[in-house]
Amino acid sequence: MKLEMRDQPGQLVAALKPISAVGGNIIAVIHQREATTPAEALAVQIVLELPEGRLERLLELLREQGVNVVRIGEERLLYECTLIMIGHLMHTDLSDTVDQIDRTGSAEVTELSVVMPAIDSPSSARITIRSTNRAEMKRAMRILRAVADQKGLLIIEPLEDA
Amino acid sequence: MRIAILGFGSVGRGIARVILGKGLDITVTGLADSRSGLIDAGGIDLLAALSKKERGEPCGDPGISPMDVVERAEYDILVEVTPTDVETAEPALGHMRGALRRGRHVVTSNKGPIAIAYPGLRALAEANGVLLRYEATVCGAIPLIHAMQEGLAGNAITRICGVFNGTCNYILTRMAAEGLTYEQALAEARDLGYAEADPTYDVEGIDAAIKLVILANTILDMDTTLDDVERTGITLLSSEALQLAEDQDCTIRLIGEILPEAGVLRVSPRIVAKDHPLVVEGTLNAVTVETDLAGDLTFIGKGAGSTETASAVIGDILYIQSRHVQGY
Ligand SMILES: NC(=O)c1ccc[n+]([C@@H]2O[C@H](COP(=O)([O-])OP(=O)(O)OC[C@H]3O[C@@H](n4cnc5c(N)ncnc54)[C@H](OP(=O)(O)O)[C@@H]3O)[C@@H](O)[C@H]2O)c1
């Protein structure tokens, strides 16, 4: 989200406090002075992770601190996981496999590279999934494992979590 | 100190050569291969036995069986290094039980009995006031079990993951480095003696799975069998998949993983960043142990080989000698 606050000592801390108060996790604070910002105000972009349903309360607390929320970002897919699949990807309808993930609404396939060496021999694909949170990523992985199992595909997962 | 050695192949002969080469104060009073045995309270001539094997002959007297050695030879420690059988654990299990019942310590590189029958063997050892040690069963030369039992005593182990099979690691290393297909890399591994004629046990992840079961049951107080391990081998891996990983500065390795809390044991090919400590080359093994006090520790070393495995066996023998054998 993008915030606007008075350019005075202590303001940034005042803006960050409510985030932890509602159980949020600050991932990045980007601090820049823009032409559109009034001279006496400070614009700050904060990337954060928030438990479900806490956004309203956070906005309320920020307003109480006199912080103006300019924009709430769209980018909510914070978790990323790249895996590789091997098998008859086309014969088994790769787009259906991708759809099953996208249909969850909280995770989506954002990148797909497929290598098909020859007709009838197994192809390999690298697939990147992004999700809103860890639990959704786990859910997406479960879906993918089930699909792979059913379609006889081999999934190679990363060693470390997203 | 007196030992009896059952099995006089790669590991057994490696042990004999180290004893001779280093002039260790160890007398071998019993020895057996698949077809013959030797019993000599005064000490067997190891050099002679080694040269007989080199000529393709049995090491001893066809009238003496391995079980005769277990029951009649005078030894402090039985060194069991016969082939691994993952279904029955025999004949090693019988050999070990026989020795423990006689109140003799046992040291082994044989995975079968430890994976299948550890609780019973351990109880038998305790009842007879002797030790059972098996460092060589997991990752050859790496003193992993010793490190976890002694060095890391007091730590809670939250995760173990690593490369437990050198044959698979060799194949994957070659596929990544040269763009070889699985079949080509396997053929090369066979030519170099890294893979057996029937590579199933290695490439399907069974060997790695057994090692996980050993660690789970003997170090982490879990009660698991081979069937509890989710297992995927490397036979379906394509060179394209390795290339796709490479494009992102990653590679693929066969990883064994234990998550004690979740009760998960699994062996599967995984995508690993190339600069990750578990990405080791060739036939090396590497294991990361995650703990609460010590943090993460990674052990890297040779997982097999005659001398390397002998190193682990000799380590166990000397451990027992320094603590438990009378007169030392
Ligand atoms: N090699 C390694 O690097 C390594 C590493 C870790 C663990 N291990 C384990 O260590 C053990 C030994 O491996 P290895 O590589 O030395 O095997 P190996 O070279 O095949 O030698 C096996 C030896 O056991 C003998 N043998 C076979 N059946 C027997 C029986 N029923 N009774 C008595 N002796 C019998 C064989 O007799 P013959 O000589 O008459 O054929 C041979 O001398 C295995 O359990 C293996 O899994 C090996």
- What are the structural domains of chain A? 2-71 (3.30.70.260), 79-156 (3.30.70.260)
Cα B307 to Cα A16, B117, B141: the distances in Å are 60, 27, 9
Share of residues in chain B with pLDDT > 90 (%):
98
Q: Do domains B2-140+307-324 and B145-303 have the same CATH topology?
A: no
Please tell me if residue A82 touches chain B, with a CB cutoff of 8 Å. yes
Mean pLDDT of chain A: 82
- Tell me which of 1.10.3720.10, 3.40.1710.10, 3.40.50.1980, 3.40.50.720 is the CATH number of domain B2-140+307-324: 3.40.50.720
For residue A124, give the nearest of B232, B238, B248 by CB distance.
B238
Angle at the Cα of B25 (from B302 to B55), degrees rounded to 5?
A: 65
Determine whether the interchain pair B255/A159 forms a contact, defined as Cβ–Cβ distance below 8 Å. yes
ipTM of this model? 0.86
- Do B306 and B125 meet the contact criterion of CB atoms below 8 Å apart? no
Asked if residue B33 has its Cβ within 6 Å of ligand 1, the reply is yes
Is B88 or A35 the better-scoring residue by pLDDT? B88
- Do B63 and B69 meet the contact criterion of CB atoms below 8 Å apart? no
Average pLDDT of the residues in B248-267: 97
Asked if residue B274 has its Cβ within 6 Å of ligand 1, the reply is no
Output the pLDDT for position B75.
98
On chain A, the residues whose CB falls within 8 A of the CB of B247 are 113, 126
Residue A106: which pLDDT band, with cuts at 50, 70 and 90?
confident
On chain B, the residues whose CB falls within 8 A of the CB of A87 are 236
The whole-angstrom separation of Cα A149 and Cα A137 is: 18
Q: Is the pLDDT of residue A32 over 70?
A: no
Q: Is the pLDDT of residue A162 over 60?
A: no
Q: Is the pLDDT of residue B327 over 80?
A: no
Half-sphere exposure of A9 (CA within 13 A, CB side): 0
Pocket residue to mutate for ligand 1, from B109, B170, B192, most atoms within 8 A of Cβ:
B109
Among A30-34, A47-51, A149-153, where is mean pLDDT lowest?
Answer: A30-34
- Do B261 and B245 meet the contact criterion of CB atoms below 8 Å apart? no
Among A137-151, B69-83, B192-206, where is mean pLDDT lowest?
Answer: A137-151
Q: What is the pLDDT of residues B265-311, one digit of tens each?
A: 999 999 999 999 999 999 999 999 999 999 999 999 999 999 999 99
* Residues forming a β-bridge with A113: A126
Output the pLDDT for position A33.
60
Output the pLDDT for position B314.
98
On chain A, the residues whose CB falls within 8 A of the CB of B252 are 84, 156
Q: What is the pLDDT of residues A36-52, one digit of tens each?
A: 666 677 777 787 777 77
Q: Where are the domains of chain B?
A: 2-140+307-324, 145-303
pTM: 0.85
Q: What is the pLDDT of residues B40-68, one digit of tens each?
A: 999 999 999 999 999 999 999 999 999 99
Which one-letter amino acid corresponds to residue B160?
I
* Residues forming a β-bridge with A127: A83, A112
Q: Does domain B145-303 have CATH number 3.30.1330.10?
A: no
